[in-house]
């Protein structure tokens, strides 16, 4: 009979096609506990949520349990509770009331069937009552929620309840109990929450105490400020991070004429305007005020400092700080009145904008100071205008240097071509010092061009006898090429080797390493044309040191060279007779055979100072401390410049407290290095 009723109802709903009719039909099915039919209807009308909910009830066979769940779906909670109580699972009634947050009804049910759940329900009920503002009942329920403290699993629950008791005690007027309980609990949050309540009740002393115990120092200091407890604020200041509190306390200290303390507070609070004001006027500490303005870039502070220096008649400082405070017109007028345009220019260069720099450049144009006009046009980004002015200045050294800076900063092809033509003499037929071209290429990152120019620059320094500068130019370029993993030109590598071999002679002699020094002098003499200004001195030193090292044949060879008419008159009188005696001797005695070591590439035995292997034809890397070629078994890199040397030699230098001969860096931290990877890299780059 029921089946035919459902069929008829289905047809009626299909005919009307009204959603409300379908819902009424489905609810009727649910009231008759026909879940399957209800699922079919809800699926037909597309109510996915109801289908999912009802599908979970399909497995229930107990009528009361099924009816209770259907009653929940239909929102008939009291009916559902009665049905659960009649079913085999009465605890579901309690779970339903808990899910519905109906804590009073849940407590009644818990007393009947699950007394052990009462503390947990009481805690939840207390939290709800606290939110509703019913503090007395919330306190009562928090107290009911306490469990046996000895069990670890109860600690978190009890902490929530005890925190609630502390808060509600304060809310209900029992301040002493609430404060004591908050202090005894371990958590910081309860102390903060209770302190907030006390602060609202204007119990500032107690609130500050709890904030401090809870390590909320900023809040504690803020409450002390409200309570006018200045002494307590002073005790907390070192732990306070809030700038606002420091500034507030600084103002209080200033009102009480405690200016030094006020200054400390303003600085901690980053209130630089007030800090500068108080440093200048009451404290009379202009040096500190200047420091603060420079570090903070405070515009108002800069204005105050400028006024201070104006009163003192220190126009240079006043101009600088007026520019910093963007009082440009005032700064310009002051500079013009007191003939201090140089100070104004310096201030604009340090602190001015591009627009201000261009305005100053136009001023310099008006007084025909083209160099400074170009300088400030460069700062203002007007590179083409700057170049036109610089080219008018011709060969002035400072103008050439500035034109190079202009080309580097502009990164403009036209300007670069103009500067390059000017430096190479294509414009006026006068080539300029190649150092300028080298600086241009380095600044633009044109490494290959810079390397070629570096050789020319180095040779120019060599010809003037500035060997260390020549070596440093090549070394700087060498490092640039290595950094870019580019091939090092053979001429550049050879020149750097020869010059460095000469430079290390003096420290070798100082260490009484005469044989090693003699070998480096022989290498230098074999390339004597590269040392044109010191030929006689080098040959003389070679004769003396070779004699001391027992290399008599070599001493005779270079002594004979000194007897050439062009050199003989230039020999120092101290050595002249000795050199003549050496020449008069036959010189047939051979030098002792030079020690040999293995080539790092093919292991062939060759003389220590030979830098090209006769077997494998490879160029050999050399030790920057002795000039000998490197070997695999005694290898290290300088920790500063990463140039190679014998590890044993680095240890000697470290023991003597001496520094690297190449870069002047410390040698104490040098450790044995990976020789294979270095030799492979050297072979690729050279």
DSSP states of 448-469: HHHHHHHHHHHHHHHHTT-HHH
Residue of 525, 535, 512 whose CA lies nearest to 465:
535
Task: State mean pLDDT over 107-118.
Answer: 81
Which has the minimum average pLDDT: 57-71, 101-115, 412-426? Answer: 57-71
Backbone angles phi, psi at 614, to 5 degrees: -75, -15
% of the chain with per-residue pLDDT over 70: 89
Give the single-character DSSP code of 532. G
Give CA separation, 130 vs 101, 164, 538, 624, 643, in Å: 14, 8, 98, 81, 75
511 three-state secondary structure = coil
Strand-pair partners of 597: 606
Kindly state the DSSP code that residue 622 receives in the 8-state scheme: B
User: Residue 1: pLDDT band by 50, 70, 90 thresholds?
Assistant: very low
At residue 149, does pLDDT exceed 80?
no
Mean pLDDT for 362-387 is 86
Q: Read out DSSP for 101-113?
A: T-HHHHHHHHHHH
Helix (H/G/I), strand (E/B), else coil: 606: strand
More confident residue, 588 or 261: 261
675 compared with 519, residue with greater pLDDT: 519
The CA-atom distances, in angstroms, between 70 and each of 50, 73, 257, 315 are 11, 5, 78, 92
Report d(CA 373, CA 365) in Å as an integer: 6
Q: Give dist(CA 22, CA 43) in Å, integer.
A: 11
Q: Assign 591 to helix, strand or coil.
A: coil
pLDDT at 56: 67
> How much is the pLDDT for 647?
92
Phi and psi at residue 601, in whole multiples of 5°?
Answer: -100, -40
The span from the CA of 490 to the CA of 479, in Å, is 15
Q: Is residue 134 part of a domain?
A: no
Confidence at residue 499, expressed as pLDDT on a 0 to 100 scale: 93
Given a contact cutoff of 8 angstroms between Cβ atoms, the answer to whether 83 and 105 are in contact is no
**Sequence-separated (6 or more) residues with CB below 8 Å from residue 146:** 119, 158, 161, 162
Q: Compute how many other C-beta atoms are within 10 angstroms of the C-beta atom of residue 226.
A: 12
pLDDT of 518 > 90? The answer is: yes
Residue 362 falls within a domain, yes or no? no
Any domain includes 566: yes
Rounded distance between C-alpha atoms, residue 545 and residue 522, angstroms: 10
Residue 526 maps to a domain: yes
Residue 565 lies in a domain: yes
Helix (H, G, I), strand (E, B) or coil at 146: coil
Q: Quote the domain boundaries for residue 574.
A: 519-591
User: What does the pLDDT read at residue 610?
Assistant: 92
Mean per-residue pLDDT, 296-307: 80
Report the DSSP beta bridge partners of residue 645: 636
CB 232 within 8 A of CB 258: no
Whether 454 and 462 have beta carbons less than 8 Å apart is answered as: no
364-373, 519-528, 631-640: which has the minimum mean pLDDT? Answer: 364-373
Instruction: Name the band, by pLDDT with cuts 50, 70 and 90, for residue 15.
Output: low
Beta bridge pairs of residue 607: 596
pLDDT at 673 over 80: yes
Percent of the chain scoring above 90 in pLDDT: 13
How many domains in the chain?
A: 1
- The residue-averaged pLDDT of 29-52 equals 68
Q: Is the Cα dihedral 331, 337, 341, 346 positive or negative? A: negative
* CB 519 within 8 Å of CB 609: yes
- Range with top average pLDDT, 42-56, 358-372, 636-650: 636-650
Say if 648 falls within a structural domain: no
pTM over 0.75: no
Which helix H or strand E contains 644, and what residues bound it? Answer: strand 644-645
Asked if the structure places residue 298 within a domain, the reply is no
pLDDT at 335: 77
Any domain includes 536:
yes
């Amino acid at each position: 009979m029921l089946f035919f009723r459902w069929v008829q109802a289905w047809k009626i709903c299909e005919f009307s096609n009204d959603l409300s009719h379908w819902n009424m039909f489905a609810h009727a099915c649910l009231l008759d506990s026909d879940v399957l039919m209800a699922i079919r209807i809800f699926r037909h009308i597309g109510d996915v949520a109801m289908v999912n909910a009802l599908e979970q009830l399909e497995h229930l066979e107990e009528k009361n349990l099924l009816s209770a769940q259907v009653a929940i779906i239909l929102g008939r909670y009291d009916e559902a509770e009665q049905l659960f109580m009649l079913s085999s699972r009465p605890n579901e009634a309690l779970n339903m009331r808990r899910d519905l947050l109906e804590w009073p009804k849940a407590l009644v049910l818990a007393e009947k069937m699950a007394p052990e759940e009462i503390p947990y329900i009481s805690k939840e009920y207390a939290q709800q009552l606290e939110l509703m503002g019913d503090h007395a009942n919330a306190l009562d329920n928090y107290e009911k929620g306490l469990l046996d403290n000895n069990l670890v699993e109860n600690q978190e629950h009890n902490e929530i309840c005890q925190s609630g008791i502390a808060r509600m005690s304060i809310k209900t007027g029992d301040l002493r109990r609430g404060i004591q309980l908050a202090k005894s609990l371990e958590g910081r949050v309860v102390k903060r929450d209770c302190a907030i309540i006390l602060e609202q009740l204007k119990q500032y002393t107690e609130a500050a105490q709890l904030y401090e115990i809870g390590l909320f120092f900023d809040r504690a200091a803020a409450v002390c400020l409200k309570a006018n407890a200045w002494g307590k604020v002073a005790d907390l200041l070192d732990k306070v991070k809030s700038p606002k509190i420091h500034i507030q306390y600084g103002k209080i200290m200033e009102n009480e004429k405690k200016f030094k303390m006020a200054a400390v507070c303003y600085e901690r609070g980053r209130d630089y305007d007030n800090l500068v004001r108080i440093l200048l006027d009451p404290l009379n500490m202009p040096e500190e005020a200047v420091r603060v303005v420079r570090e903070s870039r405070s515009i108002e502070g800069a204005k105050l400092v400028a006024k201070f220096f104006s009163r003192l008649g220190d126009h240079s400082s006043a101009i600088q700080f007026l520019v910093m405070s963007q009082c440009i017109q005032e700064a310009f007028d002051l500079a013009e009145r007191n003939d201090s345009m140089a100070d104004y220019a310096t201030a604009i260069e340090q602190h001015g904008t591009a627009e201000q720099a261009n305005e100053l450049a136009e001023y310099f144009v008006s007084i025909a100071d083209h160099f400074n006009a170009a300088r400030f046009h460069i700062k203002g980004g007007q590179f083409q205008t700057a170049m036109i002015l610089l080219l008018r200045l011709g060969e002035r050294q400072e103008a050439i240097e500035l034109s190079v800076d202009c080309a580097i900063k502009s990164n403009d092809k036209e300007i670069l071509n103009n500067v390059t033509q000017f430096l190479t003499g294509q414009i006026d037929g006068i080539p300029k010092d190649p150092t300028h071209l080298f600086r241009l290429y380095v600044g633009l990152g044109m490494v290959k061009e810079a390397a070629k120019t570096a050789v020319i620059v180095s040779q120019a320094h060599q010809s003037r006898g500035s060997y260390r500068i020549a070596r440093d130019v090549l070394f700087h370029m060498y490092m640039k090429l290595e950094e870019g993993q580019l091939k090092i030109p053979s001429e550049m590598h050879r020149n750097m080797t020869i010059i460095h071999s000469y430079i290390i002679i003096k420290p070798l002699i100082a260490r009484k390493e005469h044989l090693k020094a003699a070998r480096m002098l022989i290498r230098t003499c074999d390339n004597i044309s590269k040392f044109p200004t010191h030929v006689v001195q080098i040959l003389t030193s070679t004769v003396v040191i070779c004699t001391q090292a027992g290399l008599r044949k070599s001493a005779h060879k270079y002594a004979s060279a000194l007897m050439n008419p062009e050199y003989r008159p230039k020999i120092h009188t101290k050595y002249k007779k000795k050199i003549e005696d050496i020449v008069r001797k036959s010189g047939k005695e051979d030098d002792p055979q030079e020690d040999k070591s293995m080539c790092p590439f093919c292991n062939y035995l060759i003389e220590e100072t030979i830098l090209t292997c006769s077997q494998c034809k490879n160029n050999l890397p050399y030790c920057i401390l002795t000039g000998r070629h490197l070997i695999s078994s005694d290898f290290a890199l300088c920790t500063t410049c990463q140039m190679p040397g014998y590890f044993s030699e680095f240890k000697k230098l470290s023991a003597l407290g001496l520094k690297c001969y190449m870069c002047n860096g410390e040698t104490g931290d040098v450790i044995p290095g990976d020789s294979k990877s270095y030799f492979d890299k050297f072979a690729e780059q050279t």
